[in-house]
């Protein structure tokens, strides 16, 4: 599904990703962990197409298409979804309006007829129930005045609506209390199918108790320095990142 | 009758216009109105139409816009000039007491029914005769005809406009809507003078809509004096919706007494050259004022909001927010003068002006001007000029929304803060959809009046 080869990316001439290699197959859950500043969020931004970062080397293919060649909106319409670490507030624009615009753009791109208002509202009701999001959140403006937890739940709700092939959850657990974390993780698990894949970017092992990964990768100084099964996350939780830092000190 | 005047050298011809027609200007007008004319004319004549050399008009040189060959109506018949259509308001969800003016003159076709007892809505020149005690007490009391040349010009030339009086303790539920229609076969000079008096414990919401339905050039000088007496609540929404050949100088002068609460919101959705002079005088303790504005400009449009909040007495609060979105080669200006007089302790004054410039050629001059002479006050001001937020744009695109649509959503989000301050729910909804249409480029101000659905001529779409 997703093949990343020797990916280098920089911001203002500072190289942050320094040769990432990663392959994700349908149905897999990959966790990417690593200390602060190792490039986790940069990787997710680059994959989603944030123009702040410049890709200097390497390639990314997504379902046999050159991902780096696509505009951010086309990446989304191809089935890539990024759950933002810091979702943006958009006052005055209702969730309904925002989601309907997004979904119908997806449908148009995939040569499907746009949803009518009633079809859309029905879909929204179903998905709200699925991810246990509070009904009145969707009656408000996009993320306006939402608490940290509400914003993250809202990201998962959007994910449910857009049904991506690949979801990247960027630090979705940061700032969540234990109940919100459970709601978010349940949502992700319910949306799981044998065809779609997930990348979970996180600092801590806690989220991985709920969303169990098939693979765990450790990102350090812009490279994946260690890959293993889910037991690696437990090891990191116990020992911290220092032993990895020592092992791979440049 | 309609007079035609050719203005080349400004003062010379304006002076002649006044002197030659003084008997017509005075004919049938209330005596207090006429009594103030001569003095106001002297001030206007001495100061002239302001150029950008005048400090208060630094960013808007009015001189070129007040030149041309204009018709001016010196009587009601002339203003209507054969227009005998009875106007109706076509927007069903907007339930208002609706009155029309044509070229600044009050329409005799207006029938305002179901007003609460004692409420007066009518022509200023007629109501002044019927209610001299109110008119003489308030007319000319807060407009700075001795100082501002445009207020002086209005006082010298204006003959009609609207008169609204809300007696003690009366709450008018439905908004009162004044629609001024600009029409004519030739370019036209229009004056309008409104007087609003809200007595103790009374409440009213007023909408002023200016609408051009002919494609000619219109030069408008309108002025509203509003008095909010003790414990009263007054909202004035000024919806400016004119074609690009319009020049409008709009004066809004509000005078507040104890515990009154006022709101003004200048929504400049479309216009050629707009200059809004807004002044709020808090002349008693515990007044609260909300002064808002939104301006959306493109092409070569120009909007200048010149505001002056006068904290004359202690314990008053003012909240001022102006936001603008400027596209193409549009230009704008904001001046926010806040004066806290020496004994106005415990004043709270907040001011904010935020601007979004969409192109390299769009321009804004923002000038906060705080003068604080008391020592126990809270005052803050902020002015920002920026572009659309890249992070927010990326968020929208990452959801599959294309950049054009994303831009519209973000512009709307920016403007929404001002729309949200509208205290009349259906109007808020109306303005909300208008602003969205404006950003989408679908807003055709020529199709109909934004608020009342009045049909316009498509030629005026310039």
* Res. B318: pLDDT tops 80: yes
Q: Residue B257 and residue A181: Cα distance in Å, rounded?
A: 54
Average pLDDT taken over every residue of chain A: 92
List the domain range (segments joined by +) for residue A13.
2-247
How many domains does one find in chain A?
1
User: What band does B85 get if pLDDT is binned at 50, 70 and 90?
Assistant: low
User: Beta A223-228 vs A166-170: how paired, if at all?
Assistant: unpaired
Say what the pLDDT of residue A241 is.
Answer: 87
Q: Are A245 and A220 in contact (CB under 8 A)?
A: yes
Q: Which positions ≥6 away from A212 have C-beta within 8 Å? A: A29, A230
Residue B413 and residue A101: Cβ atoms within 8 Å?
Answer: no
Return the number of CB contacts < 8 Å for A and B. 78
For position A28, which CATH number holds?
3.40.50.300
pLDDT tens digits for range B355-414:
999 999 999 999 999 999 999 999 999 999 999 989 999 999 999 999 999 999 999 999
Q: Residue B259 and residue A76: Cα distance in Å, rounded?
A: 54
Say what the pLDDT of residue B93 is.
Answer: 61
A96 touches chain B (CB under 8 A): no
Residue A87 and residue B410: Cβ atoms within 8 Å?
Answer: no
- Helix extents (H) in chain A: 40-48, 72-77, 95-109, 117-130, 148-162, 178-190, 206-210, 231-239, 242-247
Average pLDDT (A201-208) is 88
Say what the pLDDT of residue B101 is.
Answer: 94
* Res. A233: pLDDT tops 80: yes
Partners of A75 on chain B (C-beta within 8 Å) are: 398
User: What band does A250 get if pLDDT is binned at 50, 70 and 90?
Assistant: low
* Res. B74: pLDDT tops 70: yes
CB atoms within 10 A of CB B111: 9
A106 touches chain B (CB under 8 A): yes
Partners of B390 on chain A (C-beta within 8 Å) are: 51-52
Average pLDDT (B130-158) is 97
Which of A169-183, B23-37, B396-410 has the least mean pLDDT? Answer: A169-183
Average pLDDT (A136-144) is 88
pLDDT tens digits for range A98-124:
999 999 999 999 999 999 999 999 999
**What proportion of chain B, given as a percentage, has pLDDT over 70?**
93
* Res. A13: pLDDT tops 60: yes
* Chain centre to alpha carbon of residue B381: 23
Q: Which positions ≥6 away from B456 have C-beta within 8 Å? A: B211, B212, B213, B445, B446, B447, B448, B449
In 3D space, the residue among B306, B302, B262 whose CA is nearest the CA of residue B281 turns out to be B262
Partners of A73 on chain B (C-beta within 8 Å) are: 397-398, 400-403
Partners of A106 on chain B (C-beta within 8 Å) are: 400
A215 touches chain B (CB under 8 A): no
Partners of B391 on chain A (C-beta within 8 Å) are: 88
Residue B405 and residue A82: Cβ atoms within 8 Å?
Answer: no
Which residue on chain A is closest to B428 by alpha carbon? A92
* Res. B44: pLDDT tops 70: yes
User: What band does A203 get if pLDDT is binned at 50, 70 and 90?
Assistant: confident
Q: Are B435 and B293 in contact (CB under 8 A)?
A: no
* Res. A249: pLDDT tops 90: no
* Res. B32: pLDDT tops 60: yes
- What was the ipTM of the complex prediction? 0.95
Which residue on chain B is closest to A91 by alpha carbon? B413
Average pLDDT taken over every residue of chain B: 91
Q: What is the pTM of this model?
A: 0.88
């Amino acid at each position: 599904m997703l093949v990343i080869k020797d990916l280098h990316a920089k911001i203002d001439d500072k190289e942050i990703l320094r040769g990432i290699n990663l392959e994700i197959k349908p149905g897999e859950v990959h966790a990417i962990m690593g200390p602060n500043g190792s490039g986790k969020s940069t990787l997710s931004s680059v994959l989603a197409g944030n123009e702040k970062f410049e890709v200097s080397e390497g390639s990314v293919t997504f379902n046999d298409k050159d991902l780096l060649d696509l505009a951010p909106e086309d990446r989304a319409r191809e089935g890539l979804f990024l759950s933002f670490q810091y979702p943006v507030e958009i006052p005055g624009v209702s969730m309904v309006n925002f989601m309907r615009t997004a979904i119908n753009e997806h449908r148009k791109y995939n040569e499907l007829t746009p949803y009518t208002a009633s079809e859309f509202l029905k879909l929204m009701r179903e998905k709200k129930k699925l991810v246990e999001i509070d009904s009145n959140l969707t009656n408000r403006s996009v993320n306006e005045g939402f608490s940290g937890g509400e914003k993250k739940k809202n990201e998962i709700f959007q994910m449910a609506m857009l049904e991506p092939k690949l979801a990247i959850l960027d630090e979705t657990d940061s700032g969540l209390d234990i109940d919100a974390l459970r709601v978010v993780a349940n949502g992700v698990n319910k949306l799981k199918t044998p065809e779609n894949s997930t990348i979970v970017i996180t600092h801590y092992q806690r989220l991985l108790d709920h969303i169990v990964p098939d693979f765990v990768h450790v990102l350090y100084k812009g490279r994946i320095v260690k890959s293993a099964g889910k037991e690696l996350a437990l090891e990191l939780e116990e020992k911290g990142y220092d032993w990895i830092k020592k092992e791979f000190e440049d | 009758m309609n007079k035609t005047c050719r203005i080349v050298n400004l003062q010379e011809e304006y002076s002649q216009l006044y002197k030659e027609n003084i008997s017509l200007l005075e004919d049938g007008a209330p005596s207090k109105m006429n009594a103030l004319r001569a003095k106001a004319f002297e001030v206007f004549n001495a100061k002239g139409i302001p150029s950008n050399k005048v400090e208060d008009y630094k960013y808007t040189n009015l001189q070129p816009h007040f030149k041309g060959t204009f018709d001016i109506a010196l009587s009601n018949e002339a203003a209507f000039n054969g227009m005998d259509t009875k106007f109706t308001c076509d927007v069903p969800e907007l339930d208002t007491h609706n009155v029309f003016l044509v070229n600044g003159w009050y329409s005799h076709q207006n029938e305002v029914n179901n007003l609460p007892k004692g409420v007066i809505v009518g022509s200023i020149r007629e109501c002044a005769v019927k209610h001299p005690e109110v008119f003489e007490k308030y007319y000319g009391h807060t407009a700075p005809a001795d100082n501002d040349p445009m207020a002086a010009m209005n006082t010298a030339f204006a003959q009609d406009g609207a008169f609204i009086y809300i007696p003690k303790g009366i709450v008018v539920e439905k908004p009162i809507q004044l629609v001024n229609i600009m029409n004519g076969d030739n370019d036209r000079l229009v004056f309008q003078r409104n007087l609003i008096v809200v007595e103790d414990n009374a409440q009213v919401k007023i909408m002023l809509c200016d609408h051009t339905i002919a494609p000619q050039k219109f030069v408008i000088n309108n002025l509203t004096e509003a008095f909010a007496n003790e414990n009263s609540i007054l909202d004035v929404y000024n919806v400016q919706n004119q074609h690009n050949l319009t020049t409008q100088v709009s004066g809004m002068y509000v005078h507040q007494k104890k515990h009154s609460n006022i709101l003004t919101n200048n929504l400049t959705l479309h216009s050629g050259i707009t200059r809004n002079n807004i002044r709020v005088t808090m002349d008693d303790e515990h007044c609260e004022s909300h002064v808002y504005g939104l301006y959306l400009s493109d092409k070569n449009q120009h909007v200048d909001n010149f505001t002056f909040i006068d904290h004359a007495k202690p314990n008053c609060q003012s909240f001022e927010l102006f936001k603008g979105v400027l596209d193409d080669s549009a230009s704008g200006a904001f001046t926010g003068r806040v004066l806290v007089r020496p004994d106005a302790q415990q004043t709270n004054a907040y001011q904010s002006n935020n601007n979004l410039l969409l192109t390299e050629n769009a321009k804004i001059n923002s000038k906060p001007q705080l003068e604080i002479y008391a020592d126990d006050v809270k005052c803050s001001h902020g002015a920002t000029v920026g572009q659309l937020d890249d992070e927010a744009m990326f968020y929208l695109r990452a959801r599959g929304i294309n950049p054009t649509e994303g831009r519209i959503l973000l512009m709307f989000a920016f403007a929404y803060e001002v729309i949200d301050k509208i205290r009349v729910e259906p109007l808020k909804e109306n303005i909300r959809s208008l602003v969205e249409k404006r950003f989408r480029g679908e807003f055709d101000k020529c199709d109909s009046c934004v608020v009342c659905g009045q049909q316009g001529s498509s030629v005026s779409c310039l």
